[in-house]
Chains A and B, each alone.
Chain A
């Protein structure tokens, strides 16, 4: 009996440790490949350099256009995904009858389960031509289209987590508000949403992390131009898209190769910070 318990404990401990091990391995490998780059160029030139011409002789290795691409596409996605995600969460948790809620929720869950390449296909085949015609722009594969597709993609993440947070607000608080003369809308916006704000904010940060890390959709829909966008209809190349599309052609160990790892480091730091922020917000509820 003793040995069985002993074995069980250590097997589960090993399983738990494995994820730490993977995390460490990933961090080590991207830093090991990426850091040597900064022997040759300095970090701020890398981050703020306006030109990304990695195959020129000599190469321009400024990733500012790529960072901007990521940031703009992600902000655009939040502009689409936050109102729709939080709005649908409010509808589902506060307004819809039980029947309607039960009927609608599976659709949102299915939306969450669609592989991103299918979102990408939809963006290329349906949205991009539409955007090109509607706004009379040279290409529909651009910042705008990518933002919309990514925005739709993060709706279920934001919606389901926000809905959980809203539903967790007690009946007593709602009644207190109504008894003070507030109507349903005032109760939602002045009491329920603020009470659920930690959960709603962490759902938004999770959506942010998902959007900034998404690769396939931006590879397919954002147009791929490594330039600072001049308008919302400019094609862009977010960081993920640069790594995925250029890694195949970069010679192992070359500066270009190291620079792509450098991008991965930046991306990793951004997502790392956003998940720290999320945990802080998620924990705030318990602390208050």
Chain B
């Protein structure tokens, strides 16, 4: 398995609060990796390290995250191009109050490298990738707000995919959705990993078991256990992991 990302001795503090503690981990190319753990253990914070969204808050970060041979926390990193390579989908669907087309094209227009016709092609491809194209192709100019919650979340995935990222980060993407939409997103993740690496935070242990190849168990900011999902869910190495996945706490 090819390593796409290496996390090296990552620590993160919010003021005195030590949120992420010396995390080391590899994320493998074209896989689904899930991050599980009880609420408040640092899952979202961890995820937001990969596209430097914690830069917006007063977070002190040390350690390295290496993507394409480069530490994304080095001074040379251009955050804009990093965020084109590392897409993100949030907990609550958050489409812009713009048209379906404009939502999907947003990143490309920010990038400013493509002509109109190329953008149209890319928008169509991204919408196809998330199985939304047939539902919206006749109303690309309609407001994204007119879509259902599940469709909005898939639109947000299309929006993140449009710049052709290497990895997309999903932070509990189904927690605001009904079971049917949840299923669809889960199937989509499995399908998408042919093209793109997926790192998904979930509070839903069964979901991690269903869709991910690798699972990371985070507890109080520490990476307690990380490995192949099948192994971890059958023979967890750590006592805490076993307790968590068997639902003893959470």
Contacts and interface: CB of A to CB of B under 8 A. Distances in A.
Given A181-B80, A181-B81, A288-B145, A175 B53 contact: yes
Interface stretch (B94-102, B124-132, B232-240): B94-102
Interface in B155-209: 156, 159-160, 163
Interface of A: 170, 172-173, 175-183, 186, 190-191, 194-195, 288
A279 to B, nearest CB: 20
A178 B56 contact: yes
B154 interface: no
B205 to A, nearest CB: 26
B51 to A, nearest CB: 6
If over half of B's interface residues share one DSSP class (helix, strand or loop), that class is named, otherwise mixed; here it is helix
A175 B90 contact: yes
A179 B110 contact: no
Given A172-B90, A175-B90, A176-B156, A181 B96 contact: no
Interface of B: 51, 53, 56, 79-84, 87-88, 90, 92, 94-98, 106-107, 110-111, 143, 145, 156, 159-160, 163
A181 B163 contact: yes
B156 to A, nearest CB: 7
Contacts of B53: 175, 178-179
Contacts of A175: 53, 56, 90, 94
If over half of A's interface residues share one DSSP class (helix, strand or loop), that class is named, otherwise mixed; here it is helix
Contacts of B111: 181
Contacts of A288: 97, 143, 145
B94 A180 contact: no
Contacts of A177: 96, 106
A186 B96 contact: no
A194 B144 CA distance: 14
Contacts of B143: 288
Nearest to A285: B97
Contact of A179 (B51, B81, B95, B145): B51
A173 B83 contact: no
Contacts of B94: 170, 172-173, 175-176
A97 to B, nearest CB: 12
A181 B145 contact: no
A178 B143 CA distance: 21
A176 B152 CA distance: 13
